[in-house]
Amino acid sequence: MRVHPFGVSRERLQQSAGGAGLAVKVADSLSDADVVLTTKAHYRRRASVLVAAEEQGVPVYVLRRNTPGQIVGFIEQLTETDDDGGSHHSGAAEAEEGVQRILAGEASTIELRPQSSFVRRIQHRIAEQAQLRSHSVGREPRRRVTIRRTQ
């Protein structure tokens, strides 16, 4: 997996990956990356690199802080697989895929995986931009977003 860090220490990323014994390579540019890793503060500023990554369909993962523990957690999450054998996607990418499925008529309602409140807020914005309705259901830590067509 090739990771392009934006606002995240390359050295910490390499040390955390090596210390955890996980295969992660640091990409020098967005075009070489499979995913982009940034912090919550950088993501909120909507830097051009992050906007370009989302436009190109490169998943953007957001850390709360640039700490070794957060980075190791990200790497472990990235290398896990879902129950269906697929790799993890960012919450935003999952919401975008759900919106596309609804707009294509493949589904009338999509329920996304449980996410943090910050990621759910991003998912609601994605649904709103596509002129779809969304709401959060469930209780923490299983709270998730449901997206549907406006009636």
pLDDT over 60 (residue 82): no
Averaged pLDDT, 39-47:
90
Structural domains of the chain, ranges and CATH numbers in brackets = 2-79 (3.40.50.2300), 91-148 (3.30.1370.50)
Catalogue the long-range contacts made by 66-74 (C-beta closer than 8 Å, 24 or more residues apart). 66/7, 66/8, 66/9, 66/12, 66/39, 67/12, 68/12, 68/15, 68/16, 71/8, 71/12, 71/13, 71/16, 71/17, 71/37, 72/16, 72/19, 72/20, 74/37
Looking at residues 37-49, what average pLDDT do you find? 90
Q: Structure pTM?
A: 0.53
